[in-house]
Amino acid sequence: MINAAVTYADADKDLVDAFEALPRESKSGDYWSEDALKALKGRIKSFYIAAQGSRCCYCDRHQGTENHRAWDVEHIVDRAKYAWFLFTPRNLAAACPDCNLAKSETEVLKTRGRKTYPSSSADFKIVHPHFDQFNDHIFHYRHVYIPKTPKGSFTIYTCKLLRFAEKYIDWQNSAADTRFEAEVNAAFDSELPMAVAAVNSIANQLSQPD
């Protein structure tokens, strides 16, 4: 869980305040791409990389670098659909590009179209880095991710966290293929005896969420 949220000061605050002053219908997520925000976005990224201990907010893997090219600023609630949350500190985090791309514009709010930012974990379908402890929802051992809760299952599915096990065993098909279980078992036999049950649990649970 992220224990701090970015704060804005000086020139950054001026840019944020100018956007917040716009009528809601005039706000666009495209504003994030404006050249004027380059330095601000860099500071946001640096803040969350440090606050997260260089771990992606979705896969929880340590990136091993603070180089900005290895990170994306993540809008947990999609900025294209909810532009009014563009600079909401609790809507921001640092994600690896693969998780960010996989999640894309997926709806993560349980109640769509909210005008005010939710204040608790219960309002989100995804494991929220500001409200949730990752390990409360997902068991993670090396390349295997096991959902503990529906929210954990949604996050594994949405961010395609099975990709790590698929890559590790060089699996060419879908992880839902029943042969995937046997391959993972063979790969992890000496390290993780529960691998078969883990992957079977994931395959059974990770159907398309509502």
**What's the Cα-to-Cα distance from 42 to each of 47, 69, 74, 135, rounded to whole Å?**
9, 11, 12, 29
Give the pLDDT score at 193: 47
Q: Tell me: do 22 and 95 sit in the same domain.
A: yes
The answer as to whether 93 is a domain residue is yes
Give the pLDDT score at 39: 94
Q: Tell me: do 19 and 90 sit in the same domain.
A: yes
- 198 touches 144 (CB < 8 A): yes
Q: How many domains does the chain have?
A: 2
The answer as to whether 3 is a domain residue is no
Residue 95 backbone phi and psi in degrees, to 5: -130, 155
The answer as to whether 160 is a domain residue is yes
Could you say which of 61, 82, 103 is where a domain stops? 103
Domain that holds residue 160: 134-205
Q: Tell me: do 93 and 175 sit in the same domain.
A: no
The answer as to whether 5 is a domain residue is no
Q: Tell me: do 96 and 35 sit in the same domain.
A: yes
The answer as to whether 59 is a domain residue is yes
Q: Tell me: do 59 and 141 sit in the same domain.
A: no
Q: Tell me: do 81 and 144 sit in the same domain.
A: no
Q: Tell me: do 72 and 154 sit in the same domain.
A: no
Residue 44 backbone phi and psi in degrees, to 5: -60, -45
State the 10-residue block means of pLDDT for the chain, 210 residues long: 92 92 95 94 96 96 90 97 97 97 96 94 97 94 88 94 77 53 51 51 50
Give the pLDDT score at 59: 97
> What sign does the dihedral 80-78-50-57 (CA atoms) show?
negative
Give the pLDDT score at 191: 44
- 96 touches 71 (CB < 8 A): yes
> What sign does the dihedral 55-56-59-64 (CA atoms) show?
negative
The answer as to whether 110 is a domain residue is no
Give the pLDDT score at 10: 84
The answer as to whether 84 is a domain residue is yes
Give the pLDDT score at 166: 76
The CA distance from 169 to 143, in Å, is 10
Give the pLDDT score at 175: 53
Q: Tell me: do 98 and 138 sit in the same domain.
A: no
Could you say which of 103, 125, 159 is where a domain stops? 103
Written as one string, the DSSP assignment of the chain is: ---------HHHHHHHHHHHTS-GGG--GGGGG-GGGHHHHHHHHHHHHHHTTTB-TTT--B-S---GGG-EEEESS-TTT-GGGTT-GGGEEEE-HHHHHHHTT---BSSTT-SS---SGGGBSS--TTT--HHHHEEEETTEEEESSHHHHHHHHHTTTTHHHHHHTT--S-TTSTHHHHHHHHHHTTT-TTHHHHHHHHHHH-SPP-
Q: Tell me: do 147 and 69 sit in the same domain.
A: no
Give the pLDDT score at 66: 87
Give the pLDDT score at 152: 94
For 200, the token pair is 């079977």
Residue 90 backbone phi and psi in degrees, to 5: -80, 0
